[in-house]
């Protein structure tokens, strides 16, 4: 397995907070930042300081936490935005402008060349004030490659530490992402970043594919939250890097914990079937599956739940088999005769087919009935 050369920039505190209805307090942002730092995330995008005075205070507070991770913030090509970033004491500022013909026409009263010239002036301004720059193309996935190459070349010549490609509307497929990154990397003089949105459900896949093609800085959010359908999921990308990219330096045991923290503070519930951190990510009901797992858990678990702070669960329902039921009964210290097990299994299937979950209370009620029947 080829070991990928990457770093993570988590943008939960900025793009994640742009999820409709989500607002983090300063204390919540600090708690999330500390968890990200504990996992080993290299860069934390703390916010967008020009949004409000409270936002600026939060970014400054995170910058002063003494984390191992570098701190970053977002800035338009506006001097006042950069002054806010400078005031916050961040290590890195992401200077962006929309580069696609559509965005240029709709959003700016300048030509694309005029916008590029202004953006380069802001790169100079940030560098003059001692802040590293990530030179970012918004809506890059709908921008001509030739212009992106010109933009990134000039940005690197002005001292930008990174060039950043954003699939802002999530319109790319993994194959398109791979080919695009390969092309951009040909003449690039600094590391490439990718920022993927999930409008077609490809954000995590596009992010990992970009890393395989040579992208260095990968942008993520915890639980994949973010505008519209969200961003690339931190937990999914980190597991892919561990299992398929040879990257083992991150402490994945903290993923479940930080997922719960962000779920609580954002108010955005995690789907039960969410990869890595969902309630059912390591839950098994099928009798065929459970029978095999009891012999070798690798049969139906590609990676162990303990690796990400999760736990294996066997659930009872319509598809439960005898071995699974016997295992669960043994785990709760319940002894039944062979006939009672048979009766219990049939009763569980009947209840489940009536769309009733087999909770602990339901199971105990069935067991009590089984002992009375037999």
Once rounded to an integer, what is the mean pLDDT over residues 356-361?
Answer: 80
Average pLDDT, the chain: 94
Can you count the helices (H) and strands (E) in the chain? 14, 10
Identify the band that residue 181 occupies on the pLDDT scale cut at 50, 70 and 90: very high
Domains of the chain (ranges, CATH numbers): 7-266 (3.20.20.70), 283-373 (no CATH)
Closest to 32 (Cα-Cα) out of 219, 240, 254: 254
Identify the band that residue 319 occupies on the pLDDT scale cut at 50, 70 and 90: confident
Q: How many CA atoms lie within 13 A of 202 on its CB side?
A: 16
Q: Does the pLDDT value for residue 361 go beyond 90?
A: no
Is the four-CA dihedral 294, 299, 301, 303 of positive or negative sign? positive
Q: What is the pLDDT of residue 200?
A: 98
Q: Which residues contact 164 (CB under 8 A, 6 or more apart)?
A: 94, 96, 134, 135, 136, 137, 140, 192, 193, 194, 195, 217
Q: What is the pLDDT of residue 290?
A: 84
Once rounded to an integer, what is the mean pLDDT over residues 329-347?
Answer: 85
Q: H or E segment at 71?
A: strand 70-75
Q: Does the pLDDT value for residue 85 go beyond 90?
A: yes
The region, left, alpha or beta by phi > 0 then psi within -120 to 50, assigned to residue 117 is: alpha
> Distance (Å, rounded) from C-alpha 129 to C-alpha 345?
70
- For 257-268, how does the pLDDT look when each residue is reduced to its tens digit (9 = 90+)? 999 999 999 999
- For 99-110, how does the pLDDT look when each residue is reduced to its tens digit (9 = 90+)? 999 999 999 989
Which string of DSSP letters, residue by residue, matches 212-224? HHT--EEEEBGGG
Instruction: Let me know: does 218 contact 232? Beta carbons within 8 Å.
Output: yes
Q: Does the pLDDT value for residue 165 go beyond 60?
A: yes
Q: Whole-prediction pTM value?
A: 0.93
- Where is pLDDT greater, at 329 or 312? 312
């Amino acid at each position: 397995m080829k070991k990928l050369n990457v770093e993570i920039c988590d943008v939960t505190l900025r793009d994640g907070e742009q999820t409709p209805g989500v607002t983090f307090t300063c204390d919540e942002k600090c708690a999330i930042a500390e968890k990200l730092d504990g996992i080993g995330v290299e860069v934390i995008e703390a916010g967008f300081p020009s949004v409000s005075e409270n936002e600026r205070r939060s970014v400054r507070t995170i910058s002063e936490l003494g984390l191992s991770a570098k701190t970053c913030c977002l800035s338009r090509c506006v001097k006042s935005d950069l002054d806010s970033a400078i005031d916050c004491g961040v290590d890195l500022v992401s200077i962006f402008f929309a580069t696609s013909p559509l965005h240029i026409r709709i959003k700016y009263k300048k030509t694309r060349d005029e916008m590029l010239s202004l953006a380069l002036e802001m790169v100079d301004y940030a560098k003059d004030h001692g802040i590293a720059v990530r030179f970012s193309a918004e809506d890059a996935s709908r921008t001509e490659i030739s212009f992106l190459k010109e933009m990134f070349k000039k940005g690197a010549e002005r001292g930008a530490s990174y060039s950043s490609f954003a699939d802002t509307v999530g319109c790319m497929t993994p194959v398109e992402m791979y080919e695009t990154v390969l092309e951009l990397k040909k003449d690039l003089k600094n590391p490439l970043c990718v920022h993927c949105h999930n409008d077609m459900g490809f954000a995590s896949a596009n992010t990992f594919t970009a890393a395989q093609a040579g992208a260095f800085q990968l942008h993520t959010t915890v639980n994949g939250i973010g505008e519209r359908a969200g961003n690339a999921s931190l937990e999914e990308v980190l597991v892919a890097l561990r299992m398929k990219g040879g990257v083992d330096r991150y402490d994945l045991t903290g993923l479940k914990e930080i997922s719960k923290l962000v779920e609580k503070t954002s108010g955005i519930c995690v789907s039960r079937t969410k990869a890595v951190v969902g309630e059912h990510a390591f839950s098994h009901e099928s009798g065929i599956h459970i029978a095999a797992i009891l012999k070798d858990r690798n049969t139906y678990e590609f990676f162990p739940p303990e690796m990400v702070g999760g736990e294996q669960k066997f659930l009872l329902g319509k598809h439960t088999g005898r071995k699974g039921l016997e295992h669960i009964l043994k785990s709760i210290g319940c002894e039944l005769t062979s006939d009672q097990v048979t009766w219990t299994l049939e009763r569980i299937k009947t209840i489940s087919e009536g769309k009733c979950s087999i909770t602990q209370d339901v199971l105990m009620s069935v067991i009590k009935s089984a002992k009375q029947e037999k």
